Amino acid sequence: MRIIESVSGMQSAADGFRASGRSIGLVPTMGYLHEGHLELMRTAAQQSDVVVASIFVNPTQFGPGEDLEQYPRDFDGDVQKAGKAGVDVIFSPSGEEMYPKGFQTKVRVERVTKHLCGIFRPVHFEGVTTVVCKLFNCVKPDLAVFGEKDFQQLVVIERMTVDLNMNIRIVGVPVQREPDGLAMSSRNSYLIGQERHSALCLFKSLQLAKRLYSRGERNARTIRDAVIDLIASHPFTSVDYVTLCDPVSLEDVEVLERKTLLALAVNVGRTRLIDNCILG
């Protein structure tokens, strides 16, 4: 497995892969890899000849007061895990390499970033789309793999790829969960003591919503109120949002007449967690 740290080195390697007729699959990550990341890498390995995993904690997607400096890192462990998951190249640039002196360009997707996490993290998605666009230009992939846990991110990247005529296939992989149902996340490591048990309220609330839907409930407010009540019954929790919306436009729905996304963002202690499911 190769480790490449420069943009020019990654572009040169990508040109070589393409010249030899090999397809490239990209898995963008911020490192501190868990089984959810590894499933993305295995998916990329199944669908491409060369798998590139980027490891870059992107500063532009963190807002003031967020956990940029505290974000967990374990590069040596990440290298070992990625190699076992079928990764051929790790692209691990520095901040200065990705955002050199004088950098002043941003990529912005409009409407789908105005909902869900975009309300609470106003600079986040502009940072995501800018860095992913740059990663696409560095790695030159045929396909890129993202997790559906970050459902809004997946929608935003799909929108950017279509709007900017990028010839890249975007692949979504279902949420990977711990045995007790908690969605896998690098930020789960922040949970301390009983917070870990309280964090299960996200998964439990999704299950509750599915039961209500299966019994015929179609009123979004009724489902939302039940979910909020369940979350509030757990200690250390506060809700950022519980939203039922169209899974393409991310606009709120009042009645579940077709497939609907239930998306959650919940603070458990000082840890912000997200989760989601499709109803219908």
Per-residue pLDDT, averaged over 65-69, amounts to: 95
Q: Following DSSP, what letter does each residue of 54-123 receive, concatenated?
A: EE---GGGPPTTSSTTTS---HHHHHHHHHHTT--EEE---HHHHS-TT--------GGGSSTHHHH-TT
pLDDT score for 85: 98
| pLDDT per residue as tens digits for the range 158-177 | 999 999 999 999 999 999 99
Tell me the C-alpha distance between 129 and 151, whole Å: 14
pLDDT score for 195: 98
| pLDDT per residue as tens digits for the range 189-202 | 999 999 999 999 99
Find the catalytic residue in 37, 115, 124, 234. 37
Per-residue pLDDT, averaged over 211-219, amounts to: 98
Average pLDDT, the chain: 98
pLDDT score for 137: 98
pLDDT score for 218: 98
- 33 phi and psi angles, rounded to 5 deg: -70, 140
pLDDT score for 42: 98
**Residue 261, strand partner residues:** 245, 278
pLDDT score for 120: 95
**Residue 27, strand partner residues:** 53
What are 216's two structure tokens?
């015929």
Per-residue pLDDT, averaged over 244-268, amounts to: 98
Per-residue pLDDT, averaged over 189-217, amounts to: 98
pLDDT band at 9; cut points 50, 70, 90: very high
pLDDT band at 58; cut points 50, 70, 90: very high
Per-residue pLDDT, averaged over 114-127, amounts to: 97
46 Cβ partners below 8 Å, 6+ apart? none
Percent of all residues in the chain with a pLDDT value above 90, rounded to a whole number = 100
Catalytic residue check, 115 = no
Place of tokens 């970033």: 113
